[in-house]
Structure 1
Amino acid sequence: MPIPGVHTARVSLTVKNRAGCRNSHWFVYLLLIAGLVVSVYPFYWMFTAATLDDSQIFQLPPHFMPGSNLLSNISGLEEKGPVWQTFGNSLFVAATFTLLTVYISALTGYTFAKFQFKYKEGLFFLILVTMMLPQQVIMIPLFKMMTAIGWQNELKAVIIPALANSFGVFFMRQNMMNVPNELLEAARIDGCRELSIFHRIVLPTVYPALAALAILSFIQQWGNFMWPLIILQDQSQMTLPLFLSMLVQPGQVIHYGQILAGAAIGILPVLFIFLFFQKYFVSGVYGGAVKG
C-alpha cells in the first residue's frame, strides 16, 4: 500500500520535471528561431534591397518590404556590361568543374580505398599534404604555366587546374571504404569488369557522398574570385563575381541597388543546387565518419 505523503511527493516531483522539460524545450525553440532569423535575414535583405532605389537602401528605419525598382536595377546592370554572359560563364565553369571533379575524385578515391598497389600509403599522404598548402602559394607558378601554354584569358584555365582536388579524393576515399568488399567480389565472380563495377555498383552506393561533394564543389567554384581575377582580363570571359567587383571603382558613383540585384541573381543557382541535394548532404558528409 503506497504511503500518501510519499506518493504526493512523487507526483509533485513528476509535475515539476515535466514543467522543467517544457521550459527547456521553449528555450531551445527560441534559440532555433533566433538562429533562423540571423541566418535568413541577410538573404532577405539582399533580395529586398535589389528591388529598392539607392536612396532607399540605407534609410532609417530600413525598408523591410520589397520595392518596385528591380527591373530598373537589372537594366542599369545590363548597361554596365555583359552581365548575362558572365552569369553564363560562371554557370559553365561551376557545372563543368563540379561534374569532372566529382567523377575524378570518386574514381581516385575508389582506387585508394579498394585496391592495393606499391607506394599507396605514400601517395595518399602526399595528397593529404597538398590540402595544407594555401592556394596563394601556387598562383604565380600556375599563372606562368597557363601563360606558357596559351591558356591565359580562357575559361579552361579556371576549370582544369582545379580538377586535382585533394579534398575530393580524401572525402570519396573515406566513403568508398564503407562499400562492402563482398559486394565487389560477387560482381567480379559474375564477370563484371572493374569500370562496370565502379559505375553500376559503387557510384549508386555512395550517391549521398557524391551529392555532398557536388554541392561543396559547385559552391567553391561559383564563388571563386582570386584565380579568375588573375587569369581572366577580357570582360566577355569574366565570371559573375569578377564582373560585380568591377562595378565598385574609386571615384565613380556606386549603384548599390544594381550590385545587390546582381548578387541576388548570382545566389539563385547556389540556392537551387543546395535545395535540390539537401536531403543527401548530411548523410553524405557523415558517411565516411564511421570507418576509415
Structure 2
Amino acid sequence: MTTTIERQSEQSPSITPVNAAARRPRKFRIRSLGGTLGLIAVGLVFLVPFYWMLSSAFKPEAEIYQWPLQWIPSTITFDHFARAWEAVPFGQFFVNSVIVTAAGSTLKVLLAVFSAHAFAFLRFPGKKFVFFAVLGALMVPGHVTLLINYITIGNLGLLNTYAGIFLPGLASAFGTFLLRQHFLSLPKEVLEAAELDGCGHLRRLIHFVLPMSKPAVVTVALIAVIDEWNDFIWPLLVTNTLQARTLPIGLMFLKETEGVDQWGPIMAGTSLVILPMLLLFLLAQRYIVDGLAGAAVRR
C-alpha cells in the first residue's frame, strides 16, 4: 500500500508549485511596470516646469508667449540674463547669499555635531528631558518665533547685518536628531578602543566619529545650505536695504521692476537662484540616502 502511494505521488505532476512559479514573474513584471510608470509620471510633474523655466530663460522673447508652445528654442539668447542682472543688483544679492549661507550652514553643522555627540556619548543630569525638548522643537513652526527673534535681533543692533540673518537659525533640531541617531549606530568596539588608547572626547569625535559619519554629516550640511540659501521670510523682515538682502528677495524685486508679464528676465533670475543648489544637490546626492538610512536606529 505504501509503495503504491509513493509511486502515485512520484507520477502525479506538481501543478500548483509550477503554476505559482509561473504567476510570480508575471505579477512581478506588472508591479514593476506600474512602479516605473508612476515614477515617470512623478518625474514629469517636476521636470516639465523645470525645463520650461530653463528654456524660457534662453528663448527669444516672442517664443515664450507663442502658441502652440515652443518647447525647443530656435536660437539661444542671453539677453534675459543681462536684463535681470542690470534690473536689480544681482551681484550684491549673490555675495550676500554666499556669505550668509556659508557662515550660517557651517555654524549650524558644528552646533549639530557637538550637541549630537553630547546626547549620544556623554552623561549629564536631565539628558533625556533635554533631548525630548529638542524633539519638541521639531514640532514648533518657525513662524511662531519670528516676532521674538526680530525683537531680539533689533535690541542687539544686528538689523541689516549678516549676523542678524543667520544667527536665529543656528540651532538645528533636525540636524541634532539625525546625527545623534547616526552616532548611536556606530560600532562601540572602535570607540571603546579609542578611549582605551587615551583619546578624549574631542579627539575621538574628530578622528573616529566624524570619518565614520560622513554621509550623515554631509546630509545635514546639505539641508542646512539649502535652508539658508532659500530662506525668504526672515531675511525680508530683518533687512530693509537692497545692499543687505539675499537672492530670494532679489527675485521679488526683479518681478516688481520688470513686471509680471516679463517672463524672460524672471525665468533667467530664477535660474540663477536655483542652479547653484541644484548642482550642489547632484554632487552630494549619493550621501543623502546613506545618511538618512544610517539614522534609522531605535534606542
Q: Does 1:138 align with 2:138?
A: no
**CA displacement at 1:134 relative to structure 2:** 1.8
- Residue in 2 that maps onto 1:158: 165
- Residue in 2 that maps onto 1:180: 187
Structure 1 pair 67–96 and aligned structure 2 pair: CA distance change class (3 A): farther
Amino acid in the other structure paired with 1:249: E
In structure 2, what is the Cα distance between the partners aligned to 1:10 and 1:116?
A: 57
- 5+ residue gaps, structure 1, are none
- Residue in 1 that maps onto 2:272: 265
Q: Does 1:214 align with 2:221?
A: yes
- Residue in 1 that maps onto 2:5: none
SS at 2:255 equivalent:
coil
- Residue by residue over 1:130-163, the C-alpha shift from the partner in whole angstroms, topping out at 9 and shown as x without a partner, is 2222222211121122122211011111112211
1:106 to 96, 113, 117: 113
Amino acid in the other structure paired with 2:290: S
- Residue by residue over 1:91-140, the C-alpha shift from the partner in whole angstroms, topping out at 9 and shown as x without a partner, is 22222222221121011001011111012122222222222222222111
**CA displacement at 1:254 relative to structure 2:** 4.1
Q: Is the 8 A contact 2:215 2:288 kept in 1?
A: yes
Amino acid in the other structure paired with 2:287: Y
**CA displacement at 1:46 relative to structure 2:** 0.9
Worse-superposed segment, 42-51 or 125-134: 125-134
- Residue in 2 that maps onto 1:46: 53
In structure 2, what is the Cα distance between the partners aligned to 1:194 and 1:151?
A: 35
- Residue in 1 that maps onto 2:241: 234
Aligned pairs for 1:1-292 (under 5 A) are 6=13, 15=22, 17-66=24-73, 68=75, 70-249=77-256, 252=259, 254-292=261-299
Structure 1 pair 174–18 and aligned structure 2 pair: CA distance change class (3 A): closer
Worse-superposed segment, 112-121 or 248-257: 248-257
- Residue by residue over 1:216-241, the C-alpha shift from the partner in whole angstroms, topping out at 9 and shown as x without a partner, is 11111111000000011211221111
Amino acid in the other structure paired with 2:272: I
**CA displacement at 1:57 relative to structure 2:** 2.2
Amino acid in the other structure paired with 2:239: L
In structure 1, what is the Cα distance between the partners aligned to 2:298 and 2:45?
A: 35
Q: Is the 8 A contact 2:60 2:73 kept in 1?
A: no
Q: Is the 8 A contact 1:139 1:227 kept in 2?
A: yes
SS at 1:153 equivalent:
coil
SS at 1:289 equivalent:
coil
In structure 2, what is the Cα distance between the partners aligned to 1:207 and 1:146?
A: 34
Aligned length: 292
**CA displacement at 1:266 relative to structure 2:** 1.1
In structure 2, what is the Cα distance between the partners aligned to 1:144 and 1:231?
A: 10
**CA displacement at 1:212 relative to structure 2:** 1.0
Worse-superposed segment, 14-23 or 63-72: 14-23
Q: Is the 8 A contact 1:48 1:65 kept in 2?
A: yes
Q: Is the 8 A contact 1:247 1:254 kept in 2?
A: no
Indicate the percent of aligned positions where both proteins have the same amino acid.
Answer: 32
Structure 1 pair 20–183 and aligned structure 2 pair: CA distance change class (3 A): closer
Root-mean-square deviation (Å): 2.5
Q: Is the 8 A contact 2:55 2:71 kept in 1?
A: yes
In structure 2, what is the Cα distance between the partners aligned to 1:2 and 1:35?
A: 52
**CA displacement at 1:76 relative to structure 2:** 0.7
Q: Is the 8 A contact 1:51 1:67 kept in 2?
A: no
Worse-superposed segment, 223-232 or 89-98: 89-98
In structure 2, what is the Cα distance between the partners aligned to 1:88 and 1:15?
A: 62
TM-score of the two chains, using structure 1 as the length reference: 0.90
Worse-superposed segment, 3-12 or 91-100: 3-12
- 5+ residue gaps, structure 2, are 1-7
Structure 1 pair 14–5 and aligned structure 2 pair: CA distance change class (3 A): farther
In structure 1, what is the Cα distance between the partners aligned to 2:242 and 2:156?
A: 21
Q: Is the 8 A contact 1:209 1:281 kept in 2?
A: yes
Worse-superposed segment, 114-123 or 13-22: 13-22
